[in-house]
Amino acid sequence: MTEELVCPICREQGDILIDIGCPAKHSFHSACIAAWLTIKFSCPMCRQNLSIKIETSNVFMAYLEVKYAGFTGSTYYEETKQIFNNLTQKAQAECIIKDYRLFTLLQENQKTLDLCILVVKGRGQMLKYVPEELKSEELCRLALDQTQYAFEFIPDQLKTPMMCFKAVSKVPSFLRFCVPKKIITSEFLISLLCNDVDFLDFLPEELKTLKVYQLLASKNMTIFYRLPQNVRNELVRI
């Protein structure tokens, strides 16, 4: 609830005042109350502890604005985590929409599927903080649509050849570290290398064999000329 009254802290009118959720419904300018909340998370008028009562995101976001001014990281003080975890689910969701990093403050049992979808839609790399039991092929595809860097947080059992091809096409090093071995078939490699022979540089060590090189070169002569001289010599003798 908002109304234009005199702020009890600065004693000035003008900006919209926010109801901070105490039983007496005391209202303040967001900037004024934020400065106070970094010292003590209670109403400065009636001293009501707000960490249990807050049902709106405005107060918490005002607190963050002052507490973490200019902050660009993702690690918050333990005090902030405790306050955030005492907000109502509605207030938490409102806060997360405004700053996706706050999703990391939730306890695992507070992360619902709807919240996970919300944060992944906003920032694909937040898949890292989604509980394993809530990850699905659909959610992983959604994260990958936002950013290819979500790929490293997709469980191997949920990675499909299409997902792998899409991710590796953008970040070749994923071929070496993040693609399950069962997906790296000759057909998969040929598809990649026909698209860009530079993927040769990222072949996993165990695939750098004459048999694999022979198969790849037979499909694309450009690949043959990218191979080391000693490998080409061996292939010619076969």
Q: Rounded to two decimals, what is the model's pTM?
A: 0.67
**What is the model's pLDDT at position 1?**
42
Coil, helix or strand at residue 19 = strand
Give pLDDT, residue 69: 62
Domain borders along the chain are 1-98, 111-177, 184-238
Q: Which helix (H) or strand (E) holds 231?
A: helix 229-237
The answer to whether residues 85 and 105 touch, using CB atoms and an 8 Å cutoff, is yes
Q: How many CB atoms sit inside 10 A of residue 211's CB?
A: 10
Fold of 1-98: Herpes Virus-1 (3.30.40)
Give the tokens for residue 74. Answer: 């993702």
C-alpha 221/C-alpha 169 separation (Å) is 20
pLDDT for 131 equals: 96
- Given this model, what pLDDT does residue 119 score? 93
Q: Are 143 and 154 in contact (CB under 8 A)?
A: yes
Structure tokens, 180: 């399950």
Task: Compute the distance between CA of residue 22 and CA of residue 3 in angstroms, rounded to an integer.
Answer: 16
SS3 160: coil
The pLDDT value recorded for residue 142 is: 96
Q: Tell me, what's the pLDDT at 216? A: 78
Q: Classify residue 92 as exposed, middle or buried by CB count within 10 Å of its CB (0-12, 13-18, 19+).
A: buried
Tell me the residue ranges of DSSP E strands in the chain.
2-3, 17-19, 27-28
Round the CA-based radius of gyration of the chain to a whole number and report it: 27
Per-residue pLDDT of the chain (238 residues; tens, 9 = 90+): 444 578 888 887 766 777 777 788 888 887 787 777 777 778 888 888 765 455 556 777 777 776 666 555 556 677 777 778 777 788 888 888 888 888 988 888 889 999 999 999 989 999 999 999 999 999 999 999 999 999 999 999 999 999 999 999 889 889 888 999 899 887 888 788 777 777 777 777 777 888 888 877 777 777 777 888 888 888 888 7
b or e along 12-45 (b: 16 or more beta carbons within 10 Å of the residue's beta carbon)? Answer: eeeeebbbbbbeeebbbbbebbbbbbbeebbbbe
pLDDT reported for residue 56: 59
The DSSP call for residue 16 is P
pLDDT the model gives residue 2 = 45
Cβ proximity of 30 and 18 under 8 Å: yes
Dist CA 224 CA 214 (whole Å) = 8
